[in-house]
Amino acid sequence: MKLLLVEDSERLRNTLRQGLQGAGFTVDTAQDGMEARGFLASYGYDLVVLDLMLPKLDGVGVLRSLPAGGQRPRVLVLSARDQVTDRIEALNAGADDYMVKPFSFDELLARLRALARRPQQTQPAVLNHGALAWDPLSHYASVDGRPLALTPREFSVLGLLLRHRGRAFSRTEILERTAGSDSDVSDRSVEVLVFGLRRKLDAAGLQGLIETRRGAGYVIP
């Protein structure tokens, strides 16, 4: 799942990013509210971890800039502000959950996963395509009930193509959506990534599931 982490403390931001990536999230980071708003306008996120005391635009301002509706990401506020009035203001502005610093990282993960389990009106939690099942909440993919041993990035690419069946994604688009916008990995690595994913799908009996559209990219029809 793709997550935006908005935190002005560089030390905490880097620590959280490493922990969240280790837990299987694709993470972008922003250090102020204006940068966060730009990310949210340009990319699609499943979850946002948001500090309130931010430079340029505070967290409440970021919350109020989010669109209403099913495509809106779930937002967990992570703040040193511990007053009831702070919680009420953030929740009224659109936050889905609120945690106070200092905090337990394990609890943060549990709350994020709980938010991710909340059903979205626009798409099912588990995506199915013939014998293939892809479950983003349990990070599990299977063919006819047999598990597919995928790396986190292979899992993300497969989910991206399943969510948008019929749409071709270029290498650059796949890289942005599965490795984070600040990744220094070359988009050439996407070729290797898709090759490995195809081999695993072929071995599971799903030959030709991912097609290459010349000049457009990769697609699951």
**Statement to judge: residues 19 and 103 lie in one domain:** yes
Listed residues 116, 137, 157: the one ending a domain: 116
**Can you read off the two tokens belonging to residue 12?**
């905490």
Asked if residue 181 is part of any domain, the answer here is yes
**Statement to judge: residues 10 and 92 lie in one domain:** yes
Q: Please count the structural domains in the chain.
A: 2
Asked if residue 99 is part of any domain, the answer here is yes
Asked if residue 96 is part of any domain, the answer here is yes
Residue 112 has pLDDT above 60, yes or no: yes
Strands 97-100 and 127-129: unpaired
Residue 121 has pLDDT above 50, yes or no: no
Asked if residue 17 is part of any domain, the answer here is yes
Tens-place pLDDT, residues 92-107: 888 989 999 999 999 9
| Rounded CA separation 102/195 (Å) | 43
**Statement to judge: residues 112 and 156 lie in one domain:** no
**Statement to judge: residues 147 and 207 lie in one domain:** yes
pLDDT band of residue 85 (cuts 50, 70, 90) is confident
- DSSP 3-state of 40: helix
Asked if residue 122 is part of any domain, the answer here is no
**Statement to judge: residues 149 and 87 lie in one domain:** no
Half-sphere exposure of 85 (CA within 13 A, CB side): 0
**Statement to judge: residues 37 and 99 lie in one domain:** yes
**Statement to judge: residues 10 and 110 lie in one domain:** yes
pLDDT of residue 120: 56
pLDDT of residue 122: 47
Tens-place pLDDT, residues 149-192: 998 889 889 988 998 888 898 888 888 777 654 455 567 788 99
**Statement to judge: residues 110 and 135 lie in one domain:** no
**Statement to judge: residues 106 and 131 lie in one domain:** no
**Statement to judge: residues 145 and 191 lie in one domain:** yes
pLDDT of residue 71: 66
| Rounded CA separation 112/81 (Å) | 19
Listed residues 116, 137, 165: the one ending a domain: 116
Domain containing residue 197: 127-219
pLDDT band of residue 197 (cuts 50, 70, 90) is very high
Per DSSP, which regions of the chain are E strands? 2-6, 26-30, 47-50, 74-79, 97-100, 127-129, 132-135, 140-143, 146-147, 211-213, 217-219
pLDDT of residue 176: 72
Tens-place pLDDT, residues 25-81: 999 999 999 999 989 887 889 999 999 999 999 999 999 888 655 568 899 999 999
Asked if residue 173 is part of any domain, the answer here is yes
pTM of the predicted structure, to 2 decimals: 0.57
CB 29 within 8 A of CB 5: yes
DSSP 119: P
